[in-house]
A and B are shown apart, each in its own frame.
Chain A
């Protein structure tokens, strides 16, 4: 069998946010499936996300229609030891930035009257630490909310919540990448608002 997924994607531009083994595996597999990959920073505001999407579109010479957003590093520290800077930084990467990018991408897609797909990569709620737990809860219900709000715009929103987003074996990372490519493709056009894992 071929090592990578078939050409499930018709040459879209995907902006990929975040770092780590999981998100790299996803970017690799999306590229194999046919996407052009651009990168962007964690965004502390909608304006930052808007600029990053514009920059990525210009560099790729096509508008961004897909978003993959991973979170930050998990921090297992006990809640009372976290200061507000740690807390805000974790919540920004885990929740706020995801919303800012999603909202900016959706607005851009609506303005262009075109469709798109959004995938959030998360760890499990119980992966460790209060920031992870807090952000995961918010992200899960955000996924379900945005999926319905934008369903009639042809914009799908899904989350993969898995320990493998933080790293895994070659087989695990390939399955994560293949699942991501499937969810971003029109073969999964009826999957939206879903939260799925890999082996969790």
Chain B
């Protein structure tokens, strides 16, 4: 039996509505890797909204400086540092540079990542290494450097990692990121155990589709609206929701929360039906991430 009723698609509050108290991060220095664009920028803005001093780490210093200017326009403090998150020496240099300007980093947000559709058999060594190591090694290097510095000060700290909605299901046509993003989630759990006794919390936000200017078709509002229809919630994610989820996990309200992987995807990863269109192998599809010929 079926019934028909009007759809209710719930939007979040507007980005400028305060979520956490105004000064919740006023004693914090937050380092955001991959903070120059997209989801990293979304996290950076949420921390700035809570009064944090923010360090934007990006490979492109000009883009990082643009986010710094946005945060300064909010009346908050931010700095930009250029670094490749896979470069061991660059990691320590980035921390030294940020801590010289803003003081010790108290919250780390690991966002640096990359992704593109590709058939596994066409994935080159370089492409595999790039996508997996930015996420896996980048998160490992920044997190361990952060933890050593917090332990040296006998001070607590918080880490939030950016993962993806497809981490528990696999993602055909995305072998590099499918492996890398689940590795980040399970790394989160292990690090939370390693550092619990030091008061360092480690959590992860597993995000669905949050379009932004730099994502595929993210700058086309009509296309974004139509893509929203494929998601159970009836829309794509709004960047402020992703920022809020991350900020909540790093806030004092979440003081006991650690080792968690929180899915925020509007039900996208759970969408399935017993009766589906014929399976088309990724190499037969017009769009590797689509489902049809």
A residues neighboring B (CB under 8 Å): 1-2, 5-6, 8, 110, 113-115, 144-145, 147-148, 151-156, 164, 168-169, 171-172, 174-176, 178-179, 182, 186-200
B24 contacts chain A at the CB level, 8 A cutoff: yes
Is B223 interfacial (CB-CB < 8 Å)?
no
Residues of chain A contacted by B6 (CB below 8 angstroms): 113
CB-nearest residue of chain B to A144? B270
Q: Among B12, B24, B267, which residue has its beta carbon within 8 angstroms of that of A147? A: B267
Other-chain residue from B7, B238, B256, B266 in contact with A192 (beta carbon distance below 8 A): B266
| Chain B residue contacts of A164, Cβ below 8 A | 256
**Which one, B18, B21, B260, contacts A2 given CB within 8 A?**
B21
- B259→A187 contact, CB < 8 A: no
B8, B232, B238, B253: the one contacting A115 at CB < 8 Å is B8
A186 nearest CB across to chain B (Å): 6
Question: Which residue in chain B gives the minimum CB-CB distance to A5?
Answer: B253
Bound-state Cα–Cα, A118 to B244, Å? 20
Name which residue of chain B comes closest to A154, CB basis: B8
CB 8 Å contact bits of B98-135 with A (1 = contact, 0 = none): 00000000000000000000000000000000000000
B259 CB contacts on chain A under 8 angstroms? 197, 199-200
Instruction: Give residues of chain B (1-53) contacting chain A, Cβ–Cβ below 8 Å.
Output: 5-13, 18-21, 24
Q: Is B187 an interface residue (CB 8 A)?
A: no
A174-B256, A190-B12, A190-B265 known; A1 vs B238 contact (CB < 8 Å): no
Which residues from chain A contact B245 at a C-beta distance below 8 Å? 188, 191
Q: Is the CB of B264 within 8 A of A6?
A: no
A147 CA to B268 CA, complexed, in Å: 10
| A198 to B248 alpha-carbon distance, docked (Å) | 13
Chain A residues positioned under 8 Å from B271 (CB to CB): 148
Closest A-chain residue to B254, C-beta based? A175
Asked, given contacts A152-B232, A188-B241, whether A199 binds B12 with beta carbons under 8 Å apart, the answer is: no
Q: Which residues of A contact B8 (CB under 8 A)?
A: 113-115, 152-155
Alpha-carbon separation in the docked complex, A168 to B271 (Å): 35
Q: State A197–B266 Cα separation when bound (angstroms).
A: 19
A178 partner residues in chain B, CB cutoff 8 A: 248, 253-254
- Cα distance A191–B10 when bound, in Å? 11
Q: Among the listed B21, B234, B242, B262, which residue makes an inter-chain contact with A194, where contact means beta carbons less than 8 Å apart?
A: B262
- A37 to B116 Cα, complex, angstroms: 47
Closest chain-B Cβ to A63's Cβ sits at a distance in Å of: 15
Q: Does B58 make an interface contact (CB < 8 A)?
A: no
